[in-house]
Structure 1
Amino acid sequence: MEASATEITVGEPSKITTEPPPPARKPVIEMSVEELVAKAIVPVKKEFMCPAPTRVGSDNNGLSSDDRPAATTASAPVSKEKKSKRQIKRERNQEKQSTRNLCPMVAKTGRVDSCSYGDKCRLSHDIEAFKVQKPADLEGTCPFDSDEAPCPYGLACRYLGTHRTDFATGIINEQKNSEVNGLKKDVQKLLWKNKMTFVKADAKLKALGLMGPAKSKKMLEADNTEENQTVLNDSLVTKENSCGEMGVCPIVQNDCCAENVEDINADDPRPMKRGKPLNDETSDSIGESNGEDHIETDESLKLHPRERKLIDFRDKLYLAPLTTVGNLPFRRVCKVLGADITCGEMAMCTNLLQGQAAEWALLRRHVSENMFGVQICGTFPDTVARAAELIERECTVDFIDINMGCPIDLVVNKGAGSALLSKPMRMKNVIHAVSSTVDLPVTIKARTSYYEGRSRIDSVIGDIWEWGASAVTIHGRSRQQRYTKQADWEYVYQCTRKTPDTLQVIGNGDIFSFSDWKKHKSDCPQLSSCMIARGALVKPWIFTEIKEQRDWDISSGERLNILKDYVRFGLQHWGSDTKGVETTRHFLLEWLSYTYRYVPVGLLEVVPQRLNSRPPAYFGRDDLETLMASESAADWIKISEMLLGKVPDGFSFSPKHKSNAFDKAENG
């Protein structure tokens, strides 16, 4: 019988080779400052380092969970059962009808009869049952209650015991709203029904040849209708008919019968809803849509970027648009600490045009934001141009920024964000369409390229001004890099020197101290400014450091006061009822998942700290500083409980962001 491959022949020496064990990793506490810097570990003074030895199963820094203080082991996220949309809707309706959801009008006035819907109201009117299950009041004072007006949340407020105004017997005055750019109900309904008109955008898109076939046919029908209305202009007036609708009717007719409407707009199968008088703006748009070349030429010269209102970004501290964490309360914190320019979170154009309230909430602006822009993201020129026109019409903003750098798969797979860098012609059409449609300054934010070394931004940087953009922000990484490796500032300088003087270039990437800011400005004086993104998330007082030209050794108490300001701003934005408190807590925890990376200046061997260096396990100068250094979600929850009270039963939290995601499969 032949021996199998696994059998050993008698008399032959066994050839068993063993690989030497891997060398033991040197504990972080025993590394020199140079070794720590080389391994991208923050060099903390030895007396503050955790003395625990390194164990197997450590993370990228050579630190295992056992190397950190006992309270800093990260908790595993709790997996939730996936529910169907029908089940979610059913649970939402049941939640509305429960005693936990008191009708807002009843809560505000303390009277059951104050609700105009009466018994048809879907929310609870049982005040006593609501009081029984309501959580205990939180410590502190109500962020709304004042001598001028009572708290708008009334009985539902978690600071009810501190209210100074008796809302049940006093006169209910409206709170002075310090936020603007809210979505109006009538606008939302038009967007829901797809009946919103975009006169300027559609006219410009047609003039630029960017209308699709179906939309071009629709525009042709509208042109024929407008020609008929122009011919009959002397015998038409705009009046409110007996149906309560605004429409264009002949003077000789005194009613709004369907025949008259059909005679005027016979080719359009949809009923006429609300017409507008033919003012100068409408006449210009009609002239363009009818193919009058001389009007198109005049308009294009009028809207040339050289004659457009510009914003001076030079030497101003610009807070980047930050998804999830860059909300309005966070921007208010940064304004207090010295930020000059703020920008809202990235809003998807398709969601804005559908009237989604959650997307429109990203456009809200606080009165303290004296220079504020909104960032929009879309794939096609028509979608982005219509969204820009709608924003200019309904919102108060200083500029519109077009996102061409978002690396998220959900955005890139739709052809938006950084995917536009691989399509220069579409990139041109998007910028040209938006800048021709709105009178606001248009800026763009882009990465160096989509893939490393291909479709780089320097190949089109010289044309961006001619396309209509007033400024461009260059993040010194490709989409392929995500947030790994250092930002390529030399490439940013190269692009800046290639641009015309009229186009402002803003650099972005890894700014974490005033020395970083100063270095980039001195290395390339042509840079208008530097955008601050993740650095502001980790330490928002970076704006104070830059303006005062110092490294601020901020204490744990001062950091806690900043968190208190954020909580107060959050309650004013999301509400002081239970829902508002928990929403504020959620976004506070998202922010704390960044702030733990900060190492106080007084603990550093080398100042300043680098943004991409990871902090080792260390103890702070007091218990609060040690708690703030924890990478555990459980400890972040403890900090939130110091500010917002106990979390509800069954509460769990897992951070949303993955700042160092680098997927090999999608990078080609």
Structure 2
Amino acid sequence: MSASLPPGTAPVKAEFLISAKHIDVPDDDAAEGKTGHAPDTADKREDDRDSGKKRKDKSKRGANKGRRFAKMHDELEVCWKTANGQTCEFGDKCKFTHDVSAYLAAKPHDLRIPETSDISNESPFYTPTPFTVTDPQNPSLDPHTKCPLFEATGSCKSGLKCRFLGAHVQKTEDGSLSLITDEDKCARTAISETEQNYLHPEARTKLHKKRYEYPITDRYLKDLESQKVVIAEPEQDEPDWVAKADAASSAGGPSGTVAEVVPNADALVAQRTGAGDQMDMSVDVPLRAEEKKRLHWEGKTYLAPLTTVGNLPFRRICVDYGVDITCGEMGLATSFLSGSKEEWSLVRRHPSERMFGVQLAGNKPNTMVRAAELIQNEAGGNIDFVDINCGCPIDLVYKTGSGSALLDSPGKLGRIIVGMNKALGDIPVTVKLRTGVKDGRNNAHKLMPRVSEWGAGMMTLHGRTRQQRYTKLADWDYVKECVQSVRVYEAEKNLPRAPIFGGGDCYSAEDYWHNVESTGVDGVMIGRGALIKPWIFTEIKERREWDISSRERLEHIRKLVDYGLNHFGSDTPGINTTRRYLCEALSFQYRYIPIGLLERLPGRLNERAPAFKGRDDLETLLASPDSRDWVKISEMFLGPAPEAWSFMPKHKSNAYESQG
């Protein structure tokens, strides 16, 4: 029985136990040692901002420096324009071939993505049908394949480079191949399937040449220098509103609700002061209510901005499971300002994302406000909020004065919030914080009331300090104290009510609703819980624990593959980029212990898994900590991984020598 398991081990039923010895706990702190979503880009982006240090020296330090994901290409590469039936303006000077026949002769044969009904629950799970040449002139074509892009939109952006080419090509009278376009489907899906927030080439050119203009930022910075803008910093001693919140927390009823602290808090709709006005750069001019969108997020679910795994395909999966609010991966303000393609890919939005935001990290008003103005100009129509990262704990970010370092620089943070509010027009600014920098020195209860006054439209508080990372449980009692401090201050200053979300260790519907009801937060931002079980949003909406089957999880993986190919492309590079991010997702999802195997519910995020088997072979495979098995799962849908391709997870304890 599970009573014999070591303390802190998940209580798996005896019939499913292989051994009482637990599987090594993945080191989430070490895994988060790298900020970027692409190999080496994070280190380069951070090093670009680090004066006096040579990149070659710094590149050898930190976690996950050995992760390399070489981009895979066809043996013979055809010009993109030629592949899409267009004329290349470079002609013979183009470095890619224009010989379509030669390209198709050398091109790997088409792939088929099986339906989940074709995959068994028992080993060996799936045996692909051997490829048969049906057209000797075009031996790589498979007329029975289906292209995910063509099925979704009626056309395929990869053209002749598509690895499912047989699905959308036909022979012409002269024997050549012609791409097929379903015009009706293209028209029907133009809005529902077209990704948003691409940086215009003209704007990118201006950024590269440093000719982009920032009139709002320039005026704001000029007023800062002339001291026309005054940012009132939090008091060092305990302010009155903190003492009142503490008293209310001690003397309040069993629920300790915000209504006990501020009975009329929900009715506060006065104009917020300190947010500024785009026409008058003095911060003591209140922002008119109609100029700034209000965030009514009470009762909504929020997927945290997540590095690496929190890309657009993964967010689409979470939308399918019911999440209301999504946010792109953390982006560096300086990289946005340089026109970095990698950084601008972070703001890409799918139309299915109902409420979407961008998260910025930076350490200076001049870069953060400029980045906000740039985002407003180039993507403002498709962004609902911009979040300031004041919580990232990793050294690469913290040592530059960004992320959680801003918790100890309230004056600088105030100047950033006020300036970004001016630059973003009606787009709200939100702030994500931790409880403090060091253990025993929590300061969020002093900082958050002023963050609200400076103009934040919403705040999220992760219940740990920067020093704690993930090593201790989140302090939800302190989250409650901070909520009460903000509500008292809002009442005293006649400020409108800003939503507050908490965060930390939320892994079930029970966790979610307990934290909402006991602390007064408006919701809980879900991070690791969503990485391990993206269906947590369905559980929260339906207030139940979902004993999801291996078959349902497989369907989820198949859908993630489709979304990945739609986003990254269906050519050889797109196939293997999709494979990489699928393996990244599985490197978290294997940690899920099916609740049908547990003696007590709900499961806990920080409980260690013993060695166990599933209710069928497929469930056992999905629980494997071996990264080779994640690659095997990817091969069910994307065909064999190329010999030169390998996957090293962020959690290196899951890597094996055979993975290189």
TM-score range, shorter chain: 0.7 to 0.9
Letter in 2 for 1:350: T
Aligned twin of 2:594? 600
Letter in 2 for 1:547: K
Aligned partners of 2:403, 2:289: CA distance in 1, in Å? 23
Aligned partners of 2:560, 2:181: CA distance in 1, in Å? 28
| Deviation for aligned residue 1:122 | 2.0
DSSP-derived class of the 2:148 partner: coil
Aligned partners of 2:76, 2:284: CA distance in 1, in Å? 57
Q: 1:630 aligns with which of 602, 607, 624?
A: 624
| Deviation for aligned residue 1:455 | 5.5
Letter in 1 for 2:168: H
Letter in 1 for 2:350: H
Aligned twin of 1:50? 18
Aligned partners of 2:25, 2:479: CA distance in 1, in Å? 29
Q: 2:400 aligns with which of 407, 410, 414?
A: 414
Aligned twin of 1:123? 96
Letter in 2 for 1:375: Q
Aligned twin of 2:450? 463
**1:602-629 CA-partner distances (Å, limit 9, x unpaired):** 1011111101112111111111100001
Letter in 2 for 1:508: G
**1:220-272 CA-partner distances (Å, limit 9, x unpaired):** xxxxxxxxxxxxxxxxxxxxxxxxxxxxxxxxxxxxxxxxxxxxxxxxxxxxx
Q: 2:215 aligns with which of 199, 210, 220?
A: 199
| Deviation for aligned residue 1:194 | 0.5
1:537 aligns with 2:521: no
Query: Contact 1:349–1:384 (CA<8 Å) still a contact in 2?
Result: yes
| Deviation for aligned residue 1:206 | 1.8
Letter in 2 for 1:560: L
| Deviation for aligned residue 1:210 | 8.3
Letter in 1 for 2:635: E
Aligned twin of 1:547? 541
1:437 aligns with 2:423: yes
DSSP-derived class of the 1:374 partner: strand
Aligned partners of 1:465, 1:623: CA distance in 2, in Å? 52
DSSP-derived class of the 2:611 partner: coil
Residues 1:388 and 1:657: Cα distance change in structure 2 (over 3 Å):
farther
Aligned twin of 2:328? 344
Residues 1:307 and 1:169: Cα distance change in structure 2 (over 3 Å):
closer
Query: Contact 1:48–1:619 (CA<8 Å) still a contact in 2?
Result: yes
DSSP-derived class of the 1:444 partner: strand
Aligned partners of 2:346, 2:587: CA distance in 1, in Å? 21
1:101 aligns with 2:101: no
Query: Contact 1:474–1:492 (CA<8 Å) still a contact in 2?
Result: yes
Query: Contact 1:97–1:122 (CA<8 Å) still a contact in 2?
Result: no
Letter in 1 for 2:163: R
DSSP-derived class of the 1:50 partner: strand
| Deviation for aligned residue 1:658 | 7.7
| Deviation for aligned residue 1:544 | 0.6
**1:305-344 CA-partner distances (Å, limit 9, x unpaired):** 7962111111101111001100000010000110011111
| Deviation for aligned residue 1:179 | 0.4
Residues 1:122 and 1:95: Cα distance change in structure 2 (over 3 Å):
farther
| Deviation for aligned residue 1:585 | 0.5
Letter in 2 for 1:102: V
Q: Percent identity?
A: 46
| Deviation for aligned residue 1:650 | 3.1
Query: Contact 2:298–2:523 (CA<8 Å) still a contact in 1?
Result: yes
**1:270-281 correspondence to structure 2 within 5 Å:** none
Aligned partners of 1:438, 1:410: CA distance in 2, in Å? 27
| Deviation for aligned residue 1:459 | 1.5
Aligned twin of 1:68? none
Aligned twin of 1:366? 350
Deviates more, 1:449-458 or 1:148-157: 148-157
DSSP-derived class of the 2:431 partner: strand
Q: 1:496 aligns with which of 472, 483, 486?
A: 483
Residues 1:60 and 1:118: Cα distance change in structure 2 (over 3 Å):
closer
| Deviation for aligned residue 1:173 | 8.1
**1:68-79 correspondence to structure 2 within 5 Å:** none
DSSP-derived class of the 1:186 partner: helix
Query: Contact 1:107–1:153 (CA<8 Å) still a contact in 2?
Result: yes
Query: Contact 2:71–2:577 (CA<8 Å) still a contact in 1?
Result: no
Aligned partners of 1:124, 1:446: CA distance in 2, in Å? 51
DSSP-derived class of the 1:339 partner: coil
DSSP-derived class of the 1:460 partner: helix
| Deviation for aligned residue 1:184 | 1.1
| Deviation for aligned residue 1:131 | 2.4
Letter in 2 for 1:593: S
Aligned twin of 1:179? 195
1:620 aligns with 2:614: yes
Residues 1:164 and 1:558: Cα distance change in structure 2 (over 3 Å):
farther
Aligned partners of 2:433, 2:501: CA distance in 1, in Å? 10
DSSP-derived class of the 1:355 partner: coil
Aligned partners of 2:556, 2:339: CA distance in 1, in Å? 34
DSSP-derived class of the 1:194 partner: coil
Aligned twin of 2:510? 515
Number of residue-to-residue matches in the alignment: 512
**1:92-129 CA-partner distances (Å, limit 9, x unpaired):** xx9999853211121122xxx72222112122223233
Aligned partners of 2:652, 2:457: CA distance in 1, in Å? 32
**1:150-181 CA-partner distances (Å, limit 9, x unpaired):** 32212211111222666944676896461000
For structure 2, list consecutive stretches of 5 or more residues without a partner in the other structure.
27-54, 57-69, 114-145, 228-276, 491-496, 655-660
TM-score, normalised by the number of residues in structure 1: 0.72
DSSP-derived class of the 2:580 partner: helix
**Aligned residues: CA RMSD:** 3.0
Aligned twin of 1:157? 162
Query: Contact 2:582–2:634 (CA<8 Å) still a contact in 1?
Result: yes
DSSP-derived class of the 2:318 partner: helix
Residues 1:473 and 1:60: Cα distance change in structure 2 (over 3 Å):
closer
Letter in 1 for 2:643: D
Aligned partners of 1:147, 1:399: CA distance in 2, in Å? 29
Letter in 2 for 1:437: A
TM-score, normalised by the number of residues in structure 2: 0.73
DSSP-derived class of the 1:365 partner: coil
DSSP-derived class of the 1:144 partner: helix
Aligned partners of 1:32, 1:171: CA distance in 2, in Å? 62
DSSP-derived class of the 2:315 partner: helix
Aligned partners of 2:621, 2:572: CA distance in 1, in Å? 26
Letter in 1 for 2:108: P
Deviates more, 1:495-504 or 1:626-635: 495-504
Aligned twin of 1:72? none
For structure 1, list consecutive stretches of 5 or more residues without a partner in the other structure.
1-29, 62-83, 86-93, 212-283, 289-294, 661-668
Residues 1:571 and 1:96: Cα distance change in structure 2 (over 3 Å):
closer
**1:201-233 CA-partner distances (Å, limit 9, x unpaired):** 11122223389xxxxxxxxxxxxxxxxxxxxxx
Higher gyration radius (CA): 1
| Deviation for aligned residue 1:521 | 1.4
Aligned partners of 1:577, 1:326: CA distance in 2, in Å? 22
Query: Contact 2:74–2:572 (CA<8 Å) still a contact in 1?
Result: no
| Deviation for aligned residue 1:548 | 1.1
DSSP-derived class of the 1:406 partner: coil
Aligned partners of 1:597, 1:521: CA distance in 2, in Å? 25
Aligned partners of 2:180, 2:404: CA distance in 1, in Å? 53
DSSP-derived class of the 2:84 partner: helix
Aligned twin of 1:446? 433
Aligned partners of 1:165, 1:313: CA distance in 2, in Å? 50
Query: Contact 2:430–2:456 (CA<8 Å) still a contact in 1?
Result: yes
Residues 1:657 and 1:307: Cα distance change in structure 2 (over 3 Å):
farther
Residues 1:542 and 1:146: Cα distance change in structure 2 (over 3 Å):
closer
Deviates more, 1:491-500 or 1:119-128: 119-128
